[in-house]
Amino acid sequence: MHGFSTASSSVRCFGPSRRAPHLPRTQTSFRRLNAYSSNKSKRPLRVAIIGSGPAGFYSAYRLMTKLQDAVVDMYEQLPVPYGLVRFGVAPDHPEVKNCQDKFEEVAESPRFNYIGNVRVGSDLDLARMKPHYDAFLFSYGASEDKKLWIPGEDLPGVFSAREFVGWYNGLPQFQHLAPDLEAGDQAVVVGQGNVALDVARILLTPLNLLRHTDITEQALQTLDRSKVRSVRVVGRRGPLQAAFTVKEVRELMNIVGVAFEPINRSFYPEDIKKLPRIQRRIAEVLSKGTEVMPSNAGKSWALDFLLSPKLMNASRTSNQLSSVTFTKMAFPPDTDTTSKLAPVVSTNNEKTIPASLAFRSVGYKSSEIPGLSDLDILFDNKLGIIPNDAYGRVIMPSAEPSELAAGHVPGCYCAGWVKRGPTGVIASTMDDAFTSADVIVSDWESGVPFLNSDKGDNASTGLGWDGVKKDVIEKGIRPISWEDWKRIDAREQERGKHLGKVREKFSSVEEMLKIFDS
């Protein structure tokens, strides 16, 4: 997984629809995936897909279905596949992970090759790979958090939601996180998307509802000692502009024994039924609230609006976070406050909320992998995307908007978050991936130049992974095949069975690779 393609918590397997879309399940399409009938008029298309999350797998499925001789090599920097589906989806939402079953069908095709534990750009140079492929499809996710850029953001007790979600889901790079959930009884989450509500729900959900999921044992033990009793989820605009979905809100409302602090009714028009459907449904759930009141509940949560973070404050006796100061915001006069894009302005007033824990949940972005410039790809660090024409074709740095057709980087495509930014749900990721794959197919069939077209039609040896794996092995790196992953998968399920849960994930790459020592 190149980055946190991980989407969870928001791809999102973080997102409005929690049920993952399935690949079309027909005997015809499955036979096509397993077919290997070469087009005699042209050699088979060989594609390297970088990233094994939903965007990568959906792209592979579409390519292999539409071109019955296309061969796909999928590269993943971790030994294990699925990206955000494995490491971003909340453990109490197992139905979202059903798409893994369909991805496995893709991987069973003889025209698909999984290469895990190989970091493209570091363990294997893109320039070295180029002679062995017709196309690159970059589908890795978002590995960087957007920061608040306020004083105190690096205090102990302040975490990014991405880190926290990765921690309880077993993402190796965050197993050192050690959040101190015993430092106090109130947590603040800055941001009001679905990931923010995921964090609140995990902090408030009774452990008996999590014990049988694939949440890590380390996380369960830490949550068992937690003293957090109140979670405040804070946004800089109003409830009609918040990014969370009705399903996420409803799940929090339905946690037994957890109360919701009623919100100010003035945020809504007199007649809620006149709101657009999605806003109306959320408004109805928030207005109804919970039967139990915060004063009578053991735990509670709240949504605070029109507050922009200004300062993270340390305790007077230690360097631990003790509170968060916000600037109060307001809607300008005559603003349509029901609009999703309604602007807000700063006031001179502040509000400080006590908190021993704070989670930053204001978005993510993808980062550049080494070697893109060798392919004439200029990564957009500001937006965190690979510049493209919105259909998935990578655009040359010098291309003008009116000259996109002449500015494509031959044989280079992208899909998912690195294509459009960290937005959308699994369903939109599937649609986006299909679009990128369709463009590759269209370009291939119409004779558009690909990676090595300047060297003649038969320049590519078509070796793919077989042409470069020696470079990786000579560096002492142990590539992981799909069969290897299935061994890891079986061992994790076996470990989970002993604990009465779905699986117990390995918490480090070293642990994953250790099972191959015997």
Contact 181, 226 (CB under 8 A): yes
**pLDDT at residue number 27:** 43
Task: In whole angstroms, give the CA distance from residue 418 to residue 293.
Answer: 43
Lowest mean pLDDT among 37-51, 175-189, 193-207, 380-394: 37-51
Task: In whole angstroms, give the CA distance from residue 370 to residue 74.
Answer: 18
Q: How far is CA 68 from the centre of its chain?
A: 30
What tokens appear for 318 in the block? 């230690």
**pLDDT at residue number 43:** 83
Which tens digits make up the pLDDT trace of 454-482? 775 545 557 999 999 999 999 999 999 99
Best CA proximity match to 47, nearest among 135, 139, 120, 124:
135
What tokens appear for 289 in the block? 């609230």
**pLDDT at residue number 250:** 96
Which tens digits make up the pLDDT trace of 7-31? 333 333 333 333 456 555 444 454 5
> Residue positions in the annotated binding site for NADP(+)?
192-195, 236-237, 248, 424
Q: What counts of helices (H) and strands (E) characterise the chain? A: 15, 17
| Residue 176 burial by Cβ neighbours in a 10 Å radius (0-12, 13-18, 19+) | exposed
Q: Is the pLDDT of residue 33 over 90?
A: no
Best CA proximity match to 441, nearest among 47, 29, 30:
47
Task: In whole angstroms, give the CA distance from residue 181 to residue 121.
Answer: 38
What helix, strand, coil percent values describe the chain, rounded to 5?
35, 20, 45
Task: In whole angstroms, give the CA distance from residue 326 to residue 354.
Answer: 11
- Dihedral sign, CA of 293, 296, 301, 307? positive
> Residue positions in the annotated binding site?
55, 76, 84, 120, 192-195, 236-237, 248, 417, 424-426
Contact 270, 219 (CB under 8 A): no
Q: Is the pLDDT of residue 319 over 80?
A: yes
How crowded is residue 271: how many other Cβ atoms within 10 Å of its Cβ?
Answer: 8
pLDDT category at 426 given cuts 50, 70, 90 is confident
CB within 8 Å of 107: residues ≥ 6 apart: 81, 114, 482
Which tens digits make up the pLDDT trace of 212-225? 999 999 999 999 99
Q: Is the pLDDT of residue 42 over 50?
A: yes
**pLDDT at residue number 460:** 53
Q: Is the pLDDT of residue 41 over 50?
A: no
For every residue of 405-462, DSSP letters joined together read GG-EEEEEEE-THHHH-S--BHHHHHHHHHHHHHHHHHHHHHT---TTGGG-TT----
Lowest mean pLDDT among 10-19, 199-208, 215-224, 273-282: 10-19
What tokens appear for 354 in the block? 């006590």
Q: Is the pLDDT of residue 6 over 50?
A: no
CATH number for the domain running over 147-362: 3.50.50.60
Chain position carrying tokens 């990765």: 166
Contact 443, 450 (CB under 8 A): yes
- Comparing 428 with 331, the larger pLDDT belongs to 331
User: What is the arithmetic mean of pLDDT over 485-508?
Assistant: 96
Task: In whole angstroms, give the CA distance from residue 263 to residue 265.
Answer: 6
Lowest mean pLDDT among 111-115, 260-264, 401-405, 426-430: 401-405
Query: 27-143+365-477, what's its fold?
Result: Rossmann fold (3.40.50)
pTM tops 0.85? yes
Contact 53, 77 (CB under 8 A): no
Q: Is the pLDDT of residue 397 over 70?
A: no
**pLDDT at residue number 22:** 58
What tokens appear for 5 in the block? 């393609």
Helix H or strand E segment including 30 = helix 27-34
Contact 500, 212 (CB under 8 A): yes
**Phi, psi (deg, nearest 5) at residue 396:** -65, 150
What average pLDDT is seen over the chain? Answer: 89
Lowest mean pLDDT among 30-34, 502-506, 510-514: 30-34
Task: In whole angstroms, give the CA distance from residue 140 to residue 51.
Answer: 4
User: What is the arithmetic mean of pLDDT over 508-512?
Assistant: 97
pLDDT category at 405 given cuts 50, 70, 90 is very low
Which tens digits make up the pLDDT trace of 178-189? 999 999 999 999
The residue type found at 286 is L
Best CA proximity match to 412, nearest among 430, 391, 427, 381:
391
Best CA proximity match to 164, nearest among 7, 14, 359, 365:
359
> Residue positions in the annotated binding site for FAD?
55, 76, 84, 120, 417, 424-426
User: What is the arithmetic mean of pLDDT over 220-232?
Assistant: 98
CB within 8 Å of 374: residues ≥ 6 apart: 125, 126, 127
% pLDDT > 70, the chain: 89
User: What is the arithmetic mean of pLDDT over 42-57?
Assistant: 94
